[in-house]
Amino acid sequence: MKFLVFVKQIPDPDIPPNQFRIDPQTNNVIPPSGSSPAVSTYDELAVEATLRLRDELGGEITVISLCNNPVMNVIKKPLAMGSDELILLQDQAFEGGDAYTTARVLAAAANKVGDYDMILTGRQAGDWDNGQVGSYLAEMLGIPCIINIGALEVRDGKIRGDRTIRDGREIVEAPLPALVTAGDEVGVARYPRLRDIMAAGRKQAEVWNAQDLGLDPSTIGDAGALTKVQRLYVEEKVSECEFIEGESPAEMGVNLALKLRELRII
């Protein structure tokens, strides 16, 4: 089996809200000092889900990331987790893009690699929380797509994934090659071992630009984007919390109940 996994480097998703700053000129996040970017949470789960399939079925895992400013020890984490190779897509022409232009670039990269059996992405990147690129990519490549999956199984040339629905779970099936996006249901991503982190550090990433991918600059980045972010801002929330008082925790509990009555909630 030949697997492609798409991962995105994002600002640390655990920056506390009170330290979250934005540059209103560029609409970029200003990370607090000392914070390091991370592989987007669901993309790590996509890598994890791929590794489980590969361990079972054998094959090669190629990790692909569109990233003009990679932090090498971050973007190589999927290698350290056990993937085989890394391709970075870099070009100034990619700047200012949206989900659509990102998927265009990723689709060109998938086609250039070719012969894939399965593609995995995260369900949504933890920066813009779009949840679009996976579906777009499948649509552009003309392959079936199953979103937000947990456990995966390959049988008779088909992929089966399970996912949470409104009132329970369902199992969805599609013929290969197919794309699936990884959700919470995958569980926990493995920690790379120190030895594997060192080995990943020594591996060279391949780098492709727009020309390598045969992409017309007018169709990508800012020039090709279908949506524009007009403004990015932090909403000032002023919710003054009234702390319920009492001699003991039990009394506070009673007073909380009385509060609900006072507000006519109960």
Ligand X SMILES: Nc1ncnc2c1ncn2[C@@H]1O[C@H](COP(=O)(O)O)[C@@H](O)[C@H]1O
CB of 129 to another protein, least distance (A): 5
Which of 70, 126, 161, 177 forms a contact with ligand FAD (CB under 6 A)?
126
**Does residue 65 belong to the site contacting ligand X (CB under 6 A)?**
yes
Stretch that binds ligand X, among 22-30, 128-136, 150-158, 234-242 (CB under 6 A): 128-136
DSSP designation for 132: -
Ordered DSSP codes for 46-114: HHHHHHHHHHHH--EEEEEEE-SS--HHHHTHHHHHT--EEEEE--GGGTT--HHHHHHHHHHHHHHH-
Binding partner of 95, given another protein, ligand X, ligand FAD, none, CB within 5-8 angstroms per partner class:
none
Q: In the complex with ligand FAD, which residue's Cβ is closer, 127 or 196?
A: 127
Which of 57, 71, 72, 260 forms a contact with another protein (CB under 8 A)?
260
**Does residue 123 belong to the site contacting another protein (CB under 8 A)?**
yes
- Applying the rule CB under 6 A, the residues between 32 and 61 that interact with ligand FAD are 41
In angstroms, the CA 231 to CA 254 distance is 45
49, 149 Cβ separation under 8 angstroms: yes
**Residue 168: CB partners within 8 Å, gap ≥ 6?**
none
Encode burial over 129-166: b for 16+ CB neighbours within 10 A, e otherwise.
eebbbbbbbbebbebbbbbbbbebebeeeebbbbbeee
CB of 7 to ligand X, least distance (A): 6
**Does residue 6 belong to the site contacting ligand X (CB under 6 A)?**
yes
**Does residue 186 belong to the site contacting ligand X (CB under 6 A)?**
no
In angstroms, the CA 63 to CA 76 distance is 9
**Does residue 130 belong to the site contacting ligand X (CB under 6 A)?**
yes
**Does residue 121 belong to the site contacting ligand FAD (CB under 6 A)?**
no
**Does residue 209 belong to the site contacting ligand X (CB under 6 A)?**
no
Which of 8, 54, 76, 77 forms a contact with ligand X (CB under 6 A)?
8
DSSP designation for 29: E
Angle between helices 99-113 and 133-141 (to 10 degrees): 50
Site residues for ligand X per CB under 6 A: 6-8, 40, 42-43, 46, 65-66, 99, 102, 106, 121-122, 124-125, 128, 130-134
